[in-house]
Amino acid sequence: MITEVVAAHSRILGQDSQFPAYVYDLDALGEHARQIRSALSAPGAPEIFYAAKANPDPAFLQTVAPFVHGFEVASGGELEHVLAAVPGARIAFGGPGKTDAELRAALELRVERFHVESPHELKRLAALSRSIGGADVLLRVNLAGDRSGVALAMTGPFGMDPDLITACEGVLASAPWLRLRGIHAHLASGLDAAAMLRQGEEILAWARSWLAAAGVTDAEINLGGGMAVDYSAPDNVFDWQAYGEGVSKLAQAGETLRIEPGRAVAVYAGWYVTDVLDVKRAHGEWYAVLRGGTMQIRTPVTKNHNHPFTILPGSNTDGPSVEEQPVTFVGQLCTPKDVFARNVPVNRIGVGDVVAFSMSGAYAWNISHHDFLMHPKPGFHYLNRNASNQLR
Ligand SMILES: *Cc1c(COP(=O)(O)O)cnc(C)c1O
């Protein structure tokens, strides 16, 4: 799965081996974000806050900005970074372990919503916001429901179980300058549209009853992110249309619903492109050694999967090659964990060929341990029809 512009650009980079490189198709990103927004445009559809941690590259933030309502940030660093890239953006500030310094900065920068993770955090927010007119709060709930089959269950330390949420009632009563707006939940990642809707119903049922008892009117309910992407079948894209229609049906008048997807927005717009340095056989298995490694794209290691790729044949046919064999793709790190994909059958691969790993637009470069072994950093290339028109 590679777009024509990315393939063409990769061939240009291949002429003098400007690898490894991240190639970002910003037109594809904008078009994808536009489609998501249009699938979520019926009455009752949720507002979209892009989760910046999936890919906070300023070009990504600016490309999705016209199609989202705001951004979800999970640290003081992301907060400053997003506001520098998209001045005036609406911000929801979540994440565990917020420090006083981060809360203070968020109050000064007029963050729109605080997603509060614990009664202690709520107390500190109350103290810090008292003299400046308070803060708008969503309590993050961690519901116990069955999360089997998900890619990642956000159980454990995240948010508050219903008992702990109850402990917030006293804090709120003693700090009337805190405005309780609603409930936030981000319970799992890797759910398809049907599973996401079932989880949404579960969140809404709990949140509505708790918020009604707490006397909150015009409630806001944030249903979280975690929309599935399928690395083993890149064309199997989350069904935003079905999800949008489903959420609109669940919505009740007077409520504001919100979601905060990251991966499913950004992942398809990035490629990690590099070339083959060596091909060899060891103990009966074939290996292609690529320039770079998983210190620059940690995704296949964290997800323990075969990262999807396209091979673009190179012009150099001097070096070793292999045909019609399963091949393991490794990088330049001195560790057996440096594997992009294991035992994947290929037609042919040889030294000088270019390998473009698709689905590298989210949780790829920005979660990687770049400095391990001190290889040169990848180049970054932003393909954007509008920008190139401006250059002409
Ligand atoms: C990471 C995160 C998201 C985004 O999750 P995706 O799987 O990238 O959609 C949303 N909300 C919270 C609270 C998160 O921690």
Q: Which of 379, 367, 380, 381 shows the shortest CA–CA distance to 295?
A: 367
Q: What share of the chain in percent tops pLDDT 70?
A: 98
Instruction: Let me know whether 273 and 145 are in one domain.
Output: no
Q: Give the C-alpha distances (Å, rounded to integers) separating 334 from 16, 290, 298, 366, 373.
A: 26, 13, 15, 21, 8
Give tens-digit pLDDT for 253-278.
999 999 999 999 999 999 999 999 99
Q: Which atom of ligand 1 is nearest to the CA of 190?
A: 7
Q: pLDDT tens digit string along 163-176?
A: 999 999 999 999 99
8 lies in the same domain as 86 = no
| pLDDT reading at 384 higher than 50 | yes
Q: Are 348 and 321 in contact, with CB atoms under 8 Å apart?
A: yes
How far, in Å, CA of 31 to CA of 237, rounded?
A: 14
Check whether residue 19 and residue 57 sit in a common domain: no
Q: Give the burial class of 108: count Cβ atoms within 10 A of its Cβ; 0-12 exposed, 13-18 middle, 19 or more buried.
A: exposed
**Partners of residue 346 on adjacent β-strands:** 325
Q: Whole-angstrom Cα distance, residue 125 to residue 137?
A: 9
Interatomic CA distance for residues 51 and 56, integer angstroms: 9
CA dihedral 244, 250, 255, 261 (to 10 degrees): -40
| Domain C-terminal end among 229, 244, 267 | 267
* Minimal-distance CA residue to ligand 1 atom 7: 226
Bridge-based pairing state of the strands 256-259 and 135-140: unpaired
Sequence-distant (6+) residues with CB within 8 A of 221 are 182, 183, 184, 185, 203, 204, 207, 208, 211, 255, 256, 257, 258
pLDDT digits (tens, 9 = 90+) for 69-124: 999 999 999 999 999 999 999 999 999 999 999 999 999 999 999 999 999 999 99
Q: Rounded distance, CA 16 to CA 327, Å? A: 25
Clarify whether residues 231 and 277 are in a common domain.
no
Residue 94 sits in the same domain as residue 19 = no
Q: Which protein residue has the closest C-alpha to ligand 1 atom 15?
A: 95
**Per-residue pLDDT tens digits for 110-130:** 999 999 999 999 999 999 999
C-alpha–C-alpha distance, residues 153 and 297, integer Å: 23
Give me the phi and psi of 149, to 5 degrees please. 90, -10
- Measured by CA distance, the residue closest to atom 12 of ligand 1 is 186
Q: Do 111 and 210 fall into the same domain?
A: yes
Give the pLDDT band (50/70/90) at residue 390.
very low
Residues 301-331 have pLDDT tens digits of 999 999 999 999 998 778 999 999 999 999 9
For residue 140, the cross-strand partners are: 184
Cβ–ligand 1 distance for 159 under 6 Å, the answer no
Query: What CATH number is attached to the domain comprising 255?
Result: 3.20.20.10
Confirm or reject: Cβ of 53 under 6 Å from ligand 1. Answer: yes
Do 231 and 370 fall within a single domain? no
Decide whether any atom of ligand 1 lies within 6 Å of the 28 Cβ.
Answer: no
Q: Are residues 14 and 57 in the same domain?
A: no
Pairing type for strands 270-282 and 285-290 reads antiparallel
- Of 250, 267, 284, which residue is a domain's last? 267
Cβ–ligand 1 contact at 184 (below 6 Å): no
Both 132 and 169 in one domain: the answer is yes
- Which residue intervals of 220-346 are DSSP H helices? 240-250, 263-266, 299-303
The structure's pTM equals 0.96
Last residue of a domain, one of 221, 237, 267: 267
Q: Give me the chain's average pLDDT, please.
A: 96
In this structure, the number of other CB atoms found within 10 A of the CB of residue 235 comes to: 6
Ligand 1 pocket, residue 189 CB under 6 Å: yes
The CA 377 to ligand 1 mean position distance, Å, reads 27
Q: Per-residue confidence at 387, pLDDT binned at 50, 70, 90?
A: low
* β-bridge pairing 354-357 and 309-312: antiparallel
Residues 227 and 149 in one domain: yes
> Which residue range(s) make up the domain with 125?
26-267
343: left (phi over 0), alpha (psi -120 to 50) or beta: left
Q: Given this model, what pLDDT does residue 392 score?
A: 30
Tell me, yes or no, whether 130 and 67 share the same domain: yes
Closest CA to 69 of 46, 52, 53, 87: 46
Residues designated as active site: 334
Exposed/middle/buried for residue 390 (C-beta within 10 Å: 0-12, 13-18, 19+): exposed
Same domain, 217 and 277: no
**Partner residues linked to 323 by β-bridges:** 348
pLDDT digits (tens, 9 = 90+) for 142-154: 998 788 888 888 8
Smallest CA-to-CA distance from 341 within 381, 371, 301 is with: 301
How far is residue 146 from each of residues 150, 153, 192, 225, measured CA to CA in Å?
10, 9, 15, 17
The CATH code of the domain that includes 287 is 2.40.37.10
- Provide the number of structural domains found in the chain: 2
Mutate to test the pocket of ligand 1, among 138, 189, 229, 243 (most ligand atoms within 8 A of CB): 189
